[in-house]
Amino acid sequence: MKEMFMESQKPFIPPFRVFYPSSQYADNFMFFAWDIFLNTQRWAKRKSISGPTVAKMIQPDSPEEARVTFEAYKRTPGLFLHTAHPQVLFAENHFPDQGGFSRNEIIALVDLQYFFPPGQKNHGSDQKIFPSEATFPKKALNRKRLREALQADVEQVLMLYSEPENRLNRLLNAHIPEAGQLIKNCNYYPGYQYNLYGFSGKRFLEEFEVYFREAILTVGDGNHRTLAAKMMSVEHPEIPLAHWLMVSLVNLHDPNFRTAPIHRIVQNQSTDFLSNFRPFVREEACENFSDLMTRFEKTDDLCTMAVTDGKYFRLLFPKPSFLDELKSKIDPVVPVHVLNAVLEPLAIDRNNADIDTEIEIEDAYQKAVEEDGTYAFFLKPIPKSILEEGFNKHLLFPEKSFSIIGKSPGGGPMWFFGDERTRE
């Protein structure tokens, strides 16, 4: 625990950890997301936090208390209307380095199979749809209503979204063939910067408490607006357009976690831009550079990942054999300005690239494993104050997506995981 706390004091490098409920929940609860109640700026204004969150998980005092809480949750207009698993947990977050500042939260298991937006014509049918989240200003009233209905001082909700059709698992298997075995065995696959953890129903509370106490899990909402990104890049030329194109608002109102851009899939119709990487190919491999480009073009399931500490981004490849071959030819650490040089022309010329603004994530994954030249990048954090500015102007806000980040046991790098799009 002490080592984990000390890790958080180091210069920020986007970390990652993913875990899944398993056992009787294995086919249902496959996705995590924060559901923020109130459009309040007081969390965003607390920027001095550097230490970890300490959370205590509190079970409802009785099954009746859990049932009443869920009933209030389901009755709240604009929120999830049904859950097949009436379980609820309460979390009391305590920030020791803020003089005992605390925040209460509620954690719920929600079955998306039964979620239907209020007023929808097919309400009550068997159609499965994903949750529809409006902008922060629109969501504020609903969160307030829920808070009042619960009659509790609760600021946030952590939703464990259900996946009745195991869709996320299928996507992972499409993207990383070994993922299915990883989920089953809950072990670490050497050579990859991710861990997959399982939960049993019996140990769920205890393990969840540990993850919260160690501030391992953070989930935020994503921004997919290319136009908004361009507008912000004009107002803040010190931040490259490439960063705005990749930005996500990660738990903007939580002072304990840094805001960092996370995933985006950049789909390229050609691999010509890979010539930008030529200066970083080791000299002894230069004669094979055109060979490498051909391999990039012909590797159907190639999806290049990048992680950054603010100065560099790192290339990762999902196929171990391909990765081993490239390790001897390409230096995996590349300056960020190369990424900017790659992305900015793509943003301007939309005929040559589609930055995932309107594609369904399942389609995106499919393209990632079927089309040539599909890449995903991570970038350094954008100052939270500037993100707030974009948020206040209603240019940047979570809409139609959720994202996951967290900490690896050793404070390792963030891994591209994916986002969940709405179907309206």
In this predicted model, what pLDDT tens digit does every residue of 364-418 receive, in sequence order? 333 333 333 333 333 445 665 776 677 666 665 443 233 333 322 333 222 222 2
> How many angstroms from the chain centroid is the CA of residue 71?
29
| Confidence at 233, pLDDT banded by 50, 70, 90 | confident
Full-prediction pTM beyond 0.75? no
CB 150 within 8 A of CB 157: no
Question: How close are the terminal C-alpha atoms of the chain, in Å?
Answer: 43
CB 14 within 8 A of CB 377: no
What pLDDT is recorded for position 61?
46
Distance between CA atoms of 65 and 113, rounded to whole angstroms? Answer: 24
CB 143 within 8 A of CB 37: yes
Least Cα distance to 378 among 265, 233, 279, 229 occurs for: 265
Token pair, residue 311, equals 């100065």
Which residue intervals of 247-358 are DSSP H helices? 289-298, 320-327, 336-348
What number is the average pLDDT over the span 37-48?
Answer: 25
What pLDDT is recorded for position 241?
62
Please say if the pLDDT value at position 294 is more than 70. Answer: no
What pLDDT is recorded for position 237?
81
Please say if the pLDDT value at position 236 is more than 70. Answer: yes
Please list the residues that pair with 410 across neighbouring strands. Answer: none
Distance between CA atoms of 183 and 318, rounded to whole angstroms? Answer: 16
User: 144, exposed or middle or buried, with CB in 10 Å at 0-12, 13-18, 19+?
Assistant: middle
> How many angstroms from the chain centroid is the CA of residue 304?
17
